[in-house]
Structure 1
């Protein structure tokens, strides 16, 4: 794969045609509210983060930034709507791993091209993923769960929010490193999955901290490990999965992107507003409460991050023959 791949190159093309009157328009931007498209339903981790950062973006850009939830197809519906939007700075996407790094492998056809249709703005944050089991299950550690899965192939169920979702990829990584044989139970979204999980119909899941950690504190489930390579400062008392499964590391992340050909001057304005928002102590505190760690990167570094993630997960997904029918 050539170096200029996912999200790269788009920013370079973005300035074509912006001269004269267009430059004056850029100086006047923004003159109306800005739409931040989130590819998942209200209440999920991405929606929560989108609503946390949008006021700060709006304050720094001098215009309202509002969240529009466009859920469906693992974030593809939202990504398609952004790809087709005018590249005028008034439509942004809260980017997630699915459309940019996972879905190109698990979907045979996408209504957008992640290589060409988006301009990178910033990596915003990583969201802590955790391995959890219902409170009535016997396992107290990751090792106990893995040992039992090895002793009883096909007996333990793992849920995910859908084929190709980050929770599914997290499970595939666990299976590839341990050789365990468990039953994958995919759902159409996190809401239905959590309903069955909390009802005890599922044995384990790997999901986002903002959803699972409050339930652990309330005694409704038990978190066995965090997915980061090292113990998280957000939950230093919880072991990492890698302490039982060497080499295990995964981070769910959120970024900010715009339609390709969005003018570089606007990309830079939004990027600076995002950096300033993430540096705000009040915003950082709220993100921490949601198990999210600010990880600000600029457009080029963000594009490199997406490329690396795509190259990491594609072989794993292909080996598992993970496909959405």
Structure 2
């Protein structure tokens, strides 16, 4: 007796061997991509200027990663529009694992809200590879400021709404938005005074022109050590290994912390096998005590993560800063 297949099954039956062959070829191709990467030098784009915090972290990491993979890593600074130029360049780069980017959390998760058209989508245009490092931000004050901790600052500021200024590196910068966040979470009315750069802001707080500011660890800790500034608190979830004696702001104001991180990204569509290989080699590099010591000297802590963890971190921070930027009214267009 002859059993005839329904017409749909007769049409699909000849395709089955082809589908199996294609699936097998895909698996072989992915495995080959992982095995063959890297077959030539890798370009690591830094969307910020030479000598800045992101650049120094990237170069320290690139040196150790290059040793791990046995290929040169060329660090290329593509600056402009607060990091948007370099970020957009990587978003459109070949998806082969030979163009990567280390960028600051602010450029990846704050810029899309500050600019009407940043030139990239932080979620759709990138494959997260791993978090590389974190750099704590500190709330610091002139030594003559009456409060010595966050509890005292909140109490003092609540009796003087609109009369206490805080300095920042400019509109839309992380230290500006941290002040907005503090106002919202603590019910304060601190007045934002933007400067042209973090150094100028810190200098005026030292001089007593403005009483307080948020600053990066390497940007303000020299003033703290010289007695020219005092620390109100650190804006991290847990006490930083760089200065474990300093209290966090979250110890007084639960939930007040930010992830100021540097992440490694590849263009969207880069084969998963290649992304996983880069992440594995990157984790080995970050496990080197010499690299951790070098980064600590630059005010950063190693913070390795999986691709999935960086993806989640990016989404969470994008959601947070989109709300903060909108409430601040800050734009850079």
TM-score by length of structure 1 reads 0.84
SS at match of 1:125: strand
SS at match of 2:324: helix
Structure 1 gap segments, 5+ residues each: 1-16
Q: Deviations over 1:160-185 (max 9, x none)?
A: 23333222222121111112112212
SS at match of 2:215: strand
Pick aligned residue for 1:175 from 172, 183, 186 = 183
Pick aligned residue for 1:313 from 299, 321, 324 = 321
Pick aligned residue for 1:129 from 137, 140, 147 = 137
How far apart, CA to CA, are the structure 2 residues paired with 1:238 and 1:167?
Answer: 19
SS at match of 1:232: coil
Q: Which residue of 2 aligns with 1:300?
A: 308
Q: Which residue of 1 aligns with 2:46?
A: 38
How many residues are paired up?
Answer: 309
Trace 1:85-104 onto structure 2 (pairs within 5 A).
85-104=93-112
Q: Which residue of 1 aligns with 2:83?
A: 75
The reply on whether 1:112 has 2:98 as its aligned counterpart is no
When residues 189 and 157 of structure 1 are mapped into structure 2, their CA distance, relative to the original with a 3 A threshold, is same
Q: Which residue of 2 aligns with 1:203?
A: 211
When residues 192 and 67 of structure 1 are mapped into structure 2, their CA distance, relative to the original with a 3 A threshold, is farther
Q: Which residue of 1 aligns with 2:154?
A: 146
Q: Which residue of 2 aligns with 1:267?
A: 275
How far apart, CA to CA, are the structure 2 residues paired with 1:69 and 1:35?
Answer: 10
How far apart, CA to CA, are the structure 1 residues paired with 2:202 and 2:40?
Answer: 38
Larger radius of gyration: 2
How far did 1:79 drift?
A: 0.7
SS at match of 1:296: coil
How far apart, CA to CA, are the structure 1 residues paired with 2:101 and 2:167?
Answer: 27
How far apart, CA to CA, are the structure 2 residues paired with 1:31 and 1:220?
Answer: 51
Contact 2:158 2:188 in 1 (8 A): yes
TM-score by length of structure 2 reads 0.82
How far apart, CA to CA, are the structure 1 residues paired with 2:115 and 2:252?
Answer: 33
Q: Tell which deviates more after alignment, 142-151 or 194-203.
A: 194-203
Backbone CA RMSD of aligned residues:
2.6
Instruction: Give the ranges of 4+ consecutive aligned residues of structure 1 lying more than 6 Å apart after TM superposition.
Output: 17-26
Pick aligned residue for 1:230 from 226, 233, 238 = 238
How far did 1:90 drift?
A: 2.3
How far did 1:22 drift?
A: 9.7
Q: Deviations over 1:7-44 (max 9, x none)?
A: xxxxxxxxxx9899998676544344322222222333
Q: Tell which deviates more after alignment, 171-180 or 158-167.
A: 158-167
Trace 1:22-37 onto structure 2 (pairs within 5 A).
27-37=35-45
Pick aligned residue for 2:167 from 159, 162, 166 = 159
How far did 1:119 drift?
A: 1.3
When residues 174 and 305 of structure 1 are mapped into structure 2, their CA distance, relative to the original with a 3 A threshold, is same
Q: Which residue of 2 aligns with 1:213?
A: 221
Contact 2:100 2:267 in 1 (8 A): yes
How far apart, CA to CA, are the structure 2 residues paired with 1:218 and 1:28?
Answer: 52
How far apart, CA to CA, are the structure 2 residues paired with 1:191 and 1:18?
Answer: 52
When residues 71 and 152 of structure 1 are mapped into structure 2, their CA distance, relative to the original with a 3 A threshold, is farther
How far did 1:282 drift?
A: 1.0
How far apart, CA to CA, are the structure 1 residues paired with 2:139 and 2:124?
Answer: 35
Contact 2:30 2:273 in 1 (8 A): no
